[in-house]
A and B are shown apart, each in its own frame.
Chain A
Amino acid sequence: MTPALETHGLGRRYGSKWALRDCTLEIPRGSVTALVGPNGAGKTTLLRLAVGLARPSAGTVRVLGLEPRADAAELLPRIGFVAQEHPLFGSFTVAEMLRTGSKLNPTWDDEAARRRIAELDLPLDQKVKSLSGGQRAQVALTLALAKRPELLLLDEPVASLDPLARLEFLQSVLEVVSDGELTVVLSSHIVADLERVCDHLVILSVGRTQLAGSIEEILASHRLLTGPRDEAADVARTHEVLRESHVERQTTLLVRGGAHVYDSRWTVHELGLEEIVLAYLGQGSGRRRETVAS
């Protein structure tokens, strides 16, 4: 089956500045993928290219095997997109919002949408602008899901939510995923929760892909090594070093893949996803070789 999202050397330039550059990745169907990176990393640009709101300046993007702009009529009914800040018509009531959705979308499942709204205890007659942030996010999600999309794209869906609303929102998304064949791509600059919620990860930084793959493989292929300082160069020859720090007699290396270190003077530590993400983000911003003075 074709991937849910596939890019090759994808780039988008605004004036002389590249918002996204040389992005090559493949997101499998049925996965829940986190798009991680600091503000300005190109996450929104990538999602906008995927739904055809922006045209590539370089490279290609294919969504569900189709080209977002050329095949828009065929593709758009099959993807749900919730933009940052969950844009809705503030002066509309929840019921009016649903009616609008049903008129604009040929594949609209009105019964499912109303059931969700009822389950979430959202008042149908209340104006959208008077809802809490968490409720607005749920309305936006309901509208996106009522299209019965194969691919759901969420741009920073939980950034503006309090911890409880964040949990409830992610819970809603995951419940739909467990019901069937939905692929989810969500961008976030908050790394907490992602290890539990997602199974794939893409790290973007300064407009480039730093890392893309399954979270399980990413966790298995990164290690923290601590050992004698005078031997650090030997280890660096067999590993890709992402971050290193030195004190007088000891060196700590954050490495990717590579061979085993058999020397018993080196200690190997497992890493959490957050530590790995931070190492890549630090690398992107040019702080790759940080040395702690002894």
Chain B
Amino acid sequence: MSLIEFHLDSRSGVPTYLQLVQQVRHAVQLGILKPGDQLPTVKEVVTALTINPNTVLKAYGALEAEGLVEGRRGQGTFVASGAPAPVVDDPGAIRAALRRWLERARAAGFGDDAIAALVAEELRDESRRVA
């Protein structure tokens, strides 16, 4: 059985492969996936989500390029031994930084929609840089 299960948000505007990348990163950050753990096989992901196998290969390739996972020929894709250990206090710091940023955005007159649009746009730009 797979250790993690991917989910797709078709309305997020975030490309499918990037959603997979983010979910693996997230699982590693939270310690759900540990070094040596196997990611779902390409076929398992294809069956579960009815998506193009090349999309899964692209996501795993991007994760491998950033050193988070490693492909083992004929066996599958595994969380790399050098993957960063889960950081327990970091999410709090990131959240605090986000709160400060939100205050600035509010002061500049940004509404909820404008903020959501900004975040979505940044994520998309990032995905293009990764690609």
Query: Which of A174, A196, A219: most chain B CB closer than 10 A?
Result: A174
Residue of B8, B46, B56 contacting most chain A CB atoms (<10 Å) = B46
State the CA gap A48–B64 with chains docked (Å). Answer: 41
Are A32's CB and B50's CB within 8 A? Answer: no
A118 interface residue, CB < 8 Å from B? no
Determine whether B124 belongs to the interface, using a CB cutoff of 8 Å to chain A. yes
Write the A33-53 contact mask toward B (1 if CB under 8 angstroms, else 0).
000000000000000000000
Q: How far is the CA of A31 from the CA of B52 in the complex (A)?
A: 9
Interface residues of B in 1-50 (CB under 8 A from A): 8, 10, 13, 15-16, 42-43, 46-47, 49-50
Taken together as a complex, chains A and B put the C-alpha atoms of A220 and B128 apart, in Å, by 9
CA distance A193 to B8 in the complex (A): 13
B82 within 8 A of A: no
Q: How far is the CB of A217 from chain B (nearest CB, A)?
A: 10
| CB contact between B131 and one of A178, A195, A216 (< 8 Å): that residue | A216
Q: Which residues of B contact A220 (CB under 8 A)?
A: 128
> What 1/0 mask marks residues of chain A from 167 to 186 whose CB sits below 8 Å from any chain B CB?
10011001101110000000
Interface residues of B, dominant DSSP:
helix
What distance in Å separates the Cβ of A126 from its nearest Cβ neighbour in chain B?
26
**Do the beta carbons of A174 and B51 come within 8 Å of each other?**
yes
A220-B128, A270-B13, A270-B124 given; A198·B43 CB < 8 A? no
Shortest Cβ distance from residue B2 to the other chain A in the assembled complex, whole angstroms: 15
- The reply to whether B131 and A197 contact each other, CB–CB distance below 8 Å, is no
A170 with B50, Cβ < 8 A, contacts A178-B43, A179-B43, A220-B128 known? yes
Decide yes or no whether A199 CB sits under 8 A from chain B: yes
Partner of A178, one of B8, B15, B53, B128: B53
Neighbouring A residues of B10 by C-beta, 8 Å: 196
Which residues of B (52-98) have their CB < 8 Å from a CB of A? 52-56
- Cβ B50 vs Cβ A199 within 8 A: no
* Cross-chain contact of B52 among A167, A179, A198, A270 (Cβ < 8 A): A198
Taking CB as reference atom, which chain B residue is nearest A171? B50
Would you give the shortest CB distance from B123 to chain A, in whole angstroms? 11
Q: Beyond A178-B42, A179-B43, is A32–B52 a contact (Cβ under 8 Å)? A: yes
Cα separation A198 to B51 with both chains bound (whole Å): 8
Distance in angstroms from A83 CB to nearest chain B CB is 23
29 contacts between A and B (CB under 8 A): A31-B54, A167-B50, A170-B50, A171-B46, A171-B47, A171-B50, A174-B50, A174-B51, A175-B47, A177-B46, A177-B52, A177-B53, A178-B43, A178-B46, A178-B56, A179-B43, A193-B50, A195-B16, A196-B10, A196-B16, A196-B49, A196-B51, A196-B52, A197-B50, A197-B51, A197-B52, A199-B54, A219-B15, A270-B13
Chain B residues engaging chain A, CB cutoff 8 angstroms: 8, 10, 13, 15-16, 42-43, 46-47, 49-56, 124, 128, 131
* Pairs of residues from A and B, 10 with the lowest C-beta to C-beta distance, nearest first: A178-B53, A178-B43, A178-B46, A196-B51, A174-B46, A171-B50, A199-B54, A178-B42, A199-B52, A177-B53
| 17 further contact pairs, Cβ within 8 A, besides A175-B46, A179-B43, A197-B51 | A174-B47, A174-B51, A174-B52, A175-B43, A177-B46, A177-B52, A178-B43, A178-B56, A195-B16, A196-B10, A196-B49, A196-B51, A196-B52, A196-B55, A198-B52, A216-B131, A220-B128
